[in-house]
Amino acid sequence: MRLRFQNKRQRGAVALEFLLLFPFIVATLYAAASYSVLFFNQYRMQDAVTQAANLSLSIDRSSYNADQLKGVVETRSSQALNALIGSLPASFRGAVQPDLTGCAVGTVSDVEMLRCSVGVAGGDSGLLPLISFGWLGQFPPMPSSLQAEASVAF
């Protein structure tokens, strides 16, 4: 009789432990899934800018003079970047910040460089669903923005 009473007590303890730990387990899994989506899309953004910057290496330089080459490189790389941004998920395309996105030629230490970048608003911009816990804040915490950048000398 005493053994049966102890089993019921332990079952209640297990149920109580489950009730206390289950929200933390679900929150951990949700945060892991959210961050994996975020990092995967960051990887896709980085791949897009890298491909756009690498496109400048395939331009035939003998067909253009120095002044024309800069314009051709900027135009083709920007067009490629815009096409590659179009392949990103719709939520990321809507969050792209135009002032942080594009390709431009500049000089760094007397070397002509093409710099391509993409900026995306993060945080509560709708990239991922966030859970609000009132005074505890949003969960999982997200960066305020994502930035991907690639540079190539030409």
So what's the pLDDT on residue 52?
93
Contact predicate 74/105, CB 8 Å? yes
Contact predicate 48/118, CB 8 Å? yes
So what's the pLDDT on residue 47?
94
Verify cis geometry, omega within 30 degrees of 0, for the bond prior to 140: yes
What average pLDDT score do residues 88-105 get? 86
So what's the pLDDT on residue 127?
61
HEC letters along the chain? CHHHHHHHHHHHHHHHHHHHHHHHHHHHHHHHHHHHHHHHHHHHHHHHHHHHHHHHHHCCHHHCCHHHHHHHHHHHHHHHHHHHHCCCCHHHHHHECHHHCEEEEEEECCEEEEEEEEEEECCCCCCCCCEECHHHCEECCCCCEEEEEEEEEC
The whole-angstrom distance between residue 23's C-alpha and the CA centroid of its chain comes to: 27
pLDDT in tens, 7-19: 655 667 888 888 8
Single pTM value for the model: 0.77
Instruction: Please determine, for residue 3, whether its predicted confidence score (pLDDT) is greater than 80.
Output: no
Contact predicate 145/127, CB 8 Å? no
What average pLDDT score do residues 104-115 get? 90
So what's the pLDDT on residue 124?
57
So what's the pLDDT on residue 41?
84
Q: Which of the pair, 133 or 68, is modelled with greater confidence?
A: 68
Domain range annotation of the chain: 2-153
So what's the pLDDT on residue 152?
93
So what's the pLDDT on residue 91?
76
Residue 104 CA to residue 115 CA, distance in Å, equals: 6
What average pLDDT score do residues 101-107 get? 91
So what's the pLDDT on residue 151?
94
